[in-house]
């Protein structure tokens, strides 16, 4: 009974996701968001191989990787590209994903920079250095334009609270 | 759950680096730095556990993108990726008493206490059953009796004490995340036979909570989701994360099975027994009537009879010492102290005599005029009598 209800709910969410895609089909820059989880498997040589797989099973404490896939579908280079990704509040930002440039981070959604330069206001009115758990948004500013037809990926890791 | 995305295939992170070939060395350094500091923070926050994200929560991620094309600024959004938080089933069941429950033979409703704590990221029901076969070595001693009429009750009124008639629920209904509740095993101790030690096991199984949090319905036991099934990502998957409650040395419980076991014992051992002493007096003879209807005249012989009764069935009273001061105006008749099983009421006080193989010992202390009888054992439900004679001065 409860399962049936849940399924219906998710089906609706999936539909919504599908429907939003055509809305930015017109722009030359297509950005797809993906969420992946780590899957550990024993390899034949005795080591543990960690691969990223589409998220099926995520429970509190698990690490997830949010990936932004961008693709310049237009004929013109795209300059000054800024990708701003608010971190869902149920997740704690941990780092850039392996192979991805490090994003600037923000603890208030306004000021971005390196984590060490950021501060959080405490209950007593003072300031304390920001920690990873305080990060609310990450932002990438691409240094060079995305040439026509170019692809790229940006990704960060977070832990489900 | 993932929105449909044809490009989403099993991606190894190592293959992604192709996309970042134009990275400056500085970027790479920063990545390494952040990864290191990230690991440190994870380790330090591991113990201080904040509230977990509830199972069923849908988490969505969308990025905002701005860029310029031909000098004109444009804004767009990424697609939205979503996933649903699954159910991480975890709970603990511990024995909530440090010693065995002390019981009397024939006791009705003897209680052992346990504490159940739900650390799942969702509200759960819990089901119970009991066993009276505890793996050897978990608890000390060898059990020699089992409880009758054994039941499990939940501390409905949350006072950590079993209240008969009030704590009547037999399963835990809608236990919130991080909440605890007391659970009791209640059973009857048999009135006959040897009853020294009983061992019991409380077995808890996690069950589905009501989707709307409404109390009153017993959920079905949870089954971990088989992720090899198609569309498993469309459900709130159930992941068992519970520990091995009795340790790896015992097979009663194993980790990640959605179950837990706790053990406790009932002990009928060193404790008080219901011991009573009755004293009667009987005139044996007097100088006038001799043995026929003797009267308590001066010079008459009177027999005192002390009977010790142990009313606690099945439990022996040991080292019982009777002492009785001879009444004033009477004189103890030497050698008349006898101790043994009770005789016929009103006729014979005891059946056996002092110094027999029973191990009874007795003495008369002339200075304090006290008769002392030492009885090694009065068996549960049994009696031992001691008698002595005095003459009236």
* Residue A5: pLDDT over 70: no
CB-CB neighbors (< 8 A) of A59 in chain B: 55, 85-88, 121, 239, 241
Q: Count CA atoms closer than 13 A to B338's CA, side-chain side.
A: 16
In this predicted structure, the answer to whether residue B182 has a pLDDT above a threshold of 90 is: yes
What is the fold, at CATH topology level, of the domain defined by B88-267? Immunoglobulin-like (2.60.40)
Domains B88-267 and B275-392 are alike in CATH topology: yes
Mean pLDDT of B201-215: 93
A60 vs B contacts (CB less than 8 Å): 52-53, 85, 88, 121
With a cut of 60, say whether residue A10 has pLDDT above it.
no
Check if B65 contacts A (Cβ < 8 Å).
Answer: yes
Say whether pLDDT at B19 is over 50: no
Residue B90 DSSP SS3: coil
Examine the predicted complex and report whether its ipTM is higher than 0.85.
no
> pLDDT at position A4, please?
44
Q: Express as a percent the part of chain B with pLDDT over 70.
A: 81
Task: Tell me what pLDDT residue B337 has.
Answer: 85
pLDDT mean over A8-28 = 46
pLDDT tens-digit map of B255-298? 999 999 999 999 875 456 788 898 888 888 888 877 777 877 88
Indicate the pLDDT class of residue B336, thresholds 50, 70 and 90.
confident
Is A79 near chain B, with CB under 8 Å? yes
Residue B353: predicted pLDDT: 54
Band the pLDDT of B135: cuts 50, 70, 90.
Answer: confident
Mean pLDDT (whole number) for B137-144? 87
pLDDT of residue A73: 92
How far, in Å, CA of B325 to CA of B345, rounded? 23
Q: Check whether B363 has a pLDDT greater than 60.
A: yes
Q: Which residue has the higher pLDDT, B306 or A40?
A: B306
State the average pLDDT for chain A. 83
Q: How far is CA A57 from CA A101, B45, B235, in A?
A: 27, 23, 9
Specify burial of residue B114 (Cβ count, 10 A radius: 0-12, 13-18, 19+). Answer: buried
Q: How far is CA B84 from CA A54, A139, B22, B73, in A?
A: 12, 24, 35, 35
Residue B292: predicted pLDDT: 76
Which of A43-57, A58-72, A90-104 has the weakest average pLDDT?
Answer: A43-57
Q: What is the mean pLDDT of residues B69-83?
A: 89
Query: Which of B44, B55, B56, B67 is most worth mutating to test chain A (most A CB atoms within 10 A of its CB)?
Result: B67
pTM for the complete prediction?
A: 0.66
Terminal Cα distance for chain B, rounded: 105
Rg (CA), chain A: 19
Shortest Cα distance, chain A CAs vs residue B151, angstroms:
30
Q: Write down the pLDDT at residue B272.
A: 65
pLDDT at B230: 56
Q: What is the mean pLDDT of residues A10-33?
A: 56
Please tell us whether the domain made up of A30-160 is placed in CATH 2.60.40.
yes
Average the pLDDT over B212-241 and give the result: 82
Task: Label the pairing between strands B238-240 and B87-89.
Answer: parallel
Under an 8 A CB cutoff, do B227 and A99 touch?
A: no
* Mutation site for A-interface testing, chosen from B3, B10, B27, B56 by largest number of A Cβ within 10 Å: B3
Q: What secondary structure letter does DSSP report for B79?
A: P
pLDDT at B50 exceeding the cut of 70: no
List all residues 6 or more positions away from B239 whose beta carbon is below 8 Å from its beta carbon.
Answer: A57, A59, B86, B87, B88, B89, B224, B225
* pLDDT score of B338 more than 80: yes
What integer best gives the mean pLDDT of chain B? 81
Residue ranges of domains in chain B: 13-86, 88-267, 275-392
Quote the CA–CA distance of B5 and A148 in Å, as a whole number: 22
**How large is the average pLDDT for residues B310-324?**
82
> Between these two residues, A38 and B354, which has the higher pLDDT value?
A38
Asked if pLDDT for residue B4 goes beyond 70, the answer is no
**Of the candidates B59, B76, B83, which has its C-beta nearest A27's C-beta?**
B76
pLDDT at B126 > cutoff 90: yes
The minimal CB distance from A57 to the residues B56, B62, B239 is found for: B239
Pairing state between β A104-106 and A137-141: antiparallel
Mean pLDDT of B357-383: 85
CATH level 3 topology of B275-392? Immunoglobulin-like (2.60.40)
Position B241 confidence tier, pLDDT thresholds 50, 70, 90 = very high
Q: Specify the range with the lowest mean pLDDT, choosing from B308-312, B331-335, B388-392.
A: B308-312
Cβ separation of A58 and B10 shorter than 8 Å?
no
Mean pLDDT of B328-352: 81
Do B117 and B92 touch, CB atoms closer than 8 A? yes
């Amino acid at each position: 009974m409860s399962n049936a209800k849940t399924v219906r709910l998710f089906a609706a969410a999936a539909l919504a996701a599908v429907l939003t895609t055509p809305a930015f089909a017109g722009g030359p820059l297509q950005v797809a968001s993906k969420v992946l989880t780590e899957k550990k498997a024993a390899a034949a040589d005795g080591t543990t191989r960690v691969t990223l797989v589409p998220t099926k099973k995520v429970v509190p404490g698990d690490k997830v990787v949010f990936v932004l896939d961008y693709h310049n579908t237009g004929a013109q280079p795209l300059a000054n590209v800024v990708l701003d990704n608010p971190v869902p509040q149920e997740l704690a930002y941990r780092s850039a994903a392996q192979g991805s440039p490090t994003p600037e981070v923000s603890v208030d959604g306004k000021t971005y920079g390196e984590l060490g330069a950021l501060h959080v206001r405490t209950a007593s009115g003072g300031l304390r250095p920001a920690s990873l758990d305080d990060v609310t948004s990450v932002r990438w500013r691409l240094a060079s334009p995305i040439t026509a037809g170019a692809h790229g990926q940006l990704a960060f890791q977070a832990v489900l609270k | 759950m993932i929105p449909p995305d044809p490009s989403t295939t099993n991606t190894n992170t190592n293959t992604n680096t192709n996309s970042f070939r134009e990275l400056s060395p500085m970027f790479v350094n920063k990545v390494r730095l952040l990864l290191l500091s990230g690991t440190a923070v994870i380790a330090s926050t591991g113990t201080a556990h904040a509230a977990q994200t509830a199972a069923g929560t849908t988490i969505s991620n969308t990025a905002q993108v701005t860029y310029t094309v031909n000098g004109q600024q444009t804004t767009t959004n990424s697609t939205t990726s979503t996933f649903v938080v699954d159910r991480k089933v975890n709970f603990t069941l511990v024995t909530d008493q440090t010693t065995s429950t002390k019981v009397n033979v024939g006791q009705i409703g003897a209680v052992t206490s346990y504490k159940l704590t739900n650390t799942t990221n969702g509200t759960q029901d819990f089901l119970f059953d009991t066993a009276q076969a505890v793996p050897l070595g978990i608890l000390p001693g060898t059990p020699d009796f089992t409880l009758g009429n054994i039941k499990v009750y939940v501390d409905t009124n949350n006072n950590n004490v079993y209240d008969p008639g009030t704590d009547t629920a037999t399963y835990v209904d809608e236990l919130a995340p991080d909440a605890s509740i007391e659970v009791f095993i209640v059973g009857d101790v048999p009135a006959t036979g040897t009853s020294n030690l009983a061992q019991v096991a409380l077995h808890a199984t996690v069950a589905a909570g009501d989707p709307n949090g409404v109390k009153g319905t017993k959920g079905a036991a949870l089954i971990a989701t088989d992720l090899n099934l198609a569309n498993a990502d469309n459900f709130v998957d159930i992941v068992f994360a519970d520990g091995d409650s009795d340790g790896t040395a015992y097979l009663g419980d194993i980790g990640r099975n959605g179950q837990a076991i706790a053990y406790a014992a009932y002990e009928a051992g060193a404790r008080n027994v219901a011991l009573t002493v009755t004293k009667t007096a009987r005139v044996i003879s007097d100088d006038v009537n001799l043995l026929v209807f003797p009267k308590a005249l001066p010079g008459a012989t009177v027999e005192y009879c002390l009977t010790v009764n142990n009313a606690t069935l099945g439990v022996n009273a040991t080292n019982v010492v009777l002492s009785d001061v001879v009444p004033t105006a009477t004189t103890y008749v030497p050698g008349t102290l006898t101790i043994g099983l009770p005789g016929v009421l009103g006729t014979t006080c005891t059946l056996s005599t002092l110094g027999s193989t029973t191990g009874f010992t007795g003495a008369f202390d002339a200075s304090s005029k006290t008769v002392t009888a030492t009885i090694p054992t009065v068996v549960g439900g049994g009696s031992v009598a001691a008698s002595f004679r005095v003459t009236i001065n």
